[in-house]
Amino acid sequence: MKLTKTGEGVLRKFDMDEIMNCMHCGFCLPACPTFRQTGLESYGPRGRIALMKGVANEKLSIDHEFEKNMFACLGCRACETACPAGVAYGSLIETARVVIEENKKSQAKPPLARKIAFEHLFPHPKRMEWMGTVLWAAQAAGLQNLASKTGLIKVLPRPLAEMQEAVETVASPKERKKRQLKMNAEKEKLFTVGLFTGCVMDVMFYETNQATARLLTKAGCDVVFVENQSCCGALHAHSGEMNGAKGLAKRNIEAFEKANVDFVVNNAGGCGAALKEYHHWFHDEPEWKERAMAFVEKMRDANELLAELPPLSFTKPMNVRITYQDSCHLAHGQGIRNQPRELIRSIPGAQYVELHQADSCCGSAGIYNMTNYDMSMQILDDKMEDVKKTKAHLIVTSNPGCLLQMKQGIIRTGMQDKIEAIHIMDLLARAL
């Protein structure tokens, strides 16, 4: 694929100063899960930045290989934590993907499935809800089991076939209708918070959102479910669909401005990192940048806010061994590492055991486990070896993608009767 005129135009998007800040010391390499799997320079952050530099200097072309290299990155940002030179790798890889997508658009049509997902599904809460209804109906009718038993499942592509086993029963439409749009603090009210419900989160993990709201009311917050909010846009941004991402961001900013809350709370590490970076998305739109800043200042991860509020009083002790897998975008993206661990430790009876390399990506990484299935599963299998060694009964995560990946890992290793994967908000709610 040749560099087209558009291609040359998009090169200017690269922040050359940021690229030059990488002094190729290699400190990032041992932190990078894809480098650890392959041992190839082009699968590590240092190599990817070099390739960006090659493209920006027009020594390399924006071709299929460049695309493969850039999309093989999990975007876990463990390299940012490891980088003493402070290179903002996350924004570099996002730019690289924008450059790739814009170059492609100037040449050919994107794959239909991707177009449907990004333009016609994630951005529309009603459609996501409808998807949820379909999923619920299928589950309720036992289609999933039937499909598994009869081998019909084998006609599904392997990534989807494996993953559907990991998906739990979603909430019924009737149950979802029962949601109260406002829940009052159970003790003296300290704050009013708006819950960011997310797209996938609210369909597949409706109960987790409800649990989060309950925990917040217990801790002294009025919780409102703000209407007209939408998907955070992280998946779009990570895939190079920056215009789509910005459109969603604007909708969320507007919706929460109207709600007039003290804090906006989310419970998905991946969404949270994107929500906290909205102001970076609008560097060329000053008015929106300012509104985004105000939104970002109110944004808190649920772990972060619960750790600051008066301690929750748990009434149901849990005499189990618990370990925790960091969400990359919570740990590396938002620097939230201690709070979830402290919350888990505060459950009476809980025996906390640290997972070796807990902050190393599990391989889920948004839709990576579908787009790069083999690599994702290699990383997951290594992760499960470490999980086994903890001898924990529960593995706790704080992001829906990680949770699904852990569930899948448990199935892959046949540990269903030994260990359960659970979102931290559901765990905490269980102990209330």
Binding site residues, other proteins, CB under 8 A: 2-3, 17, 20-21, 23-27, 29-30, 39-42, 47, 50-51, 54, 58-61, 65-66, 69, 83-86
CB of 68: closest distance to other proteins in angstroms?
Answer: 9
Q: Which is nearer to other proteins, 54 or 142 (CB)?
A: 54
Q: Which is nearer to other proteins, 48 or 218 (CB)?
A: 48
Q: Which is nearer to other proteins, 245 or 358 (CB)?
A: 358
Decide if 163 contacts 231 (C-beta within 8 A): no
Decide if 333 contacts 339 (C-beta within 8 A): no
- Residue 129, CA distances (Å) to 174, 198, 279, 400 in order: 12, 11, 28, 16
CB of 2: closest distance to other proteins in angstroms?
Answer: 7
CB of 71: closest distance to other proteins in angstroms?
Answer: 13
Provide the β-strand partners of residue 323.
395
Q: Which is nearer to other proteins, 48 or 291 (CB)?
A: 48
Q: Which is nearer to other proteins, 26 or 173 (CB)?
A: 26
CB of 359: closest distance to other proteins in angstroms?
Answer: 15
CB of 82: closest distance to other proteins in angstroms?
Answer: 9
Distance between CA atoms of 161 and 157, rounded to whole angstroms?
Answer: 6
CB of 297: closest distance to other proteins in angstroms?
Answer: 23
CB of 17: closest distance to other proteins in angstroms?
Answer: 6
Decide if 170 contacts 135 (C-beta within 8 A): yes
Looking at residue 110, the DSSP 8-state letter turns out to be P
Tokens of 4: 């087209």
Extended strands (E) in 181-320:
182-183, 191-195, 221-225, 263-266, 299-301
Task: Give me the phi and psi of 228, to 5 degrees please.
Answer: 65, 10
Q: Which is nearer to other proteins, 22 or 431 (CB)?
A: 22
Write 376-382 long-range contacts (CB < 8 A, 24+): 376/405, 377/412, 378/37, 379/33, 379/34, 379/37, 379/74, 380/405, 380/408, 380/409, 380/412, 381/409, 381/412, 381/413, 382/37
Q: Which is nearer to other proteins, 65 or 168 (CB)?
A: 65
- In terms of phi and psi (left: phi > 0; alpha: psi -120 to 50; beta: otherwise), the region of 157 is beta
Distance between CA atoms of 170 and 174, rounded to whole angstroms?
Answer: 12
Q: Which is nearer to other proteins, 59 or 174 (CB)?
A: 59
Q: Give the strand pairing for 221-225 and 182-183.
A: antiparallel
CB of 84: closest distance to other proteins in angstroms?
Answer: 3
